[in-house]
Amino acid sequence: DAKTTQPPSMDCAEGRAANLPCNHSTISGNEYVYWYRQIHSQGPQYIIHGLKNNETNEMASLIITEDRKSSTLILPHATLRDTAVYYCTGNQFYFGTGTSLTVIP
Amino acid sequence: SQTIHQWPATLVQPVGSPLSLECTVEGTSNPNLYWYRQAAGRGLQLLFYSVGIGQISSEVPQNLSASRPQDRQFILSSKKLLLSDSGFYLCAWRGRGLVNTGELFFGEGSRLTVL
């Protein structure tokens, strides 16, 4: 199973870009990288996923390194409502403890 | 549109008592269904998944069990709760296909406290 490593916490100023890193060096070649976020006491919400190429949707952008050992989730203009725990996962069987992002006014 | 419901939202149970958490999905057919647990300060871990009625796969051995009596119903049970069963239980679904591809859609969770 692919294990992921994320920093436990990060701060970001409101309106600035939030860049959340994830290391997934053991991910297999055909395994997607998924990102979710969880606001306190709610179920996780899907954000974005990718395999090799960078991806963008209305919520975020995902940058995956060429060797696929790491990725970065980018929230281009963080708002207070983006304060949450962000998880990256490979096979989605285990989500780890994620990164607690605090957006500061 | 598809929706997922879990109940009860919160539950306080004594050690040794039984447990039943229910999850239903609406607006889709033949979903893959999942139960996760999130203990305090811990990650979100898959407990069970089901690809069809009566088909249950267990990822983590413990005193919990799961059943899928109907296509869109998933139940998590225990005959005798342990203190270590306390946590936040989440049900999730994804569309038909491979078990571990495609985004998951989570319910709002059931918070269980065992005393």
Q: Which two tokens stand for residue A94?
A: 């285990």
- What is the predicted pLDDT for the residue at A79? 97
Best residue in A32, A46, A85, A92 to probe B by mutation, most B CBs within 10 Å?
A92
pLDDT at B61 over 70: no
- What is the predicted pLDDT for the residue at A31? 86
Tell me which residue in A32, A43, A46 faces B109 most closely, judged by beta carbons: A43
Residue B76 burial by CB count (10 A; 0-12/13-18/19+): exposed, middle or buried?
Answer: buried
pLDDT band at B90 (very low <50, low <70, confident <90, very high): very high
Rounded CA-CA distance B93/B2 in Å is 10
Yes or no, beta carbons of A93 and B109 under 8 Å apart: no
Query: Regarding predicted confidence, which is higher, B84 or B96?
Result: B84
- What is the predicted pLDDT for the residue at B39? 87
Cβ count within 10 A of residue B15: 12
Per-residue pLDDT, averaged over A25-44, amounts to 88
pLDDT tens digits along A59-73? 999 999 999 999 999
**Which residues are bridge partners to B10 per DSSP?**
B111
Tell me which residue in A43, A49, A96 faces B106 most closely, judged by beta carbons: A43
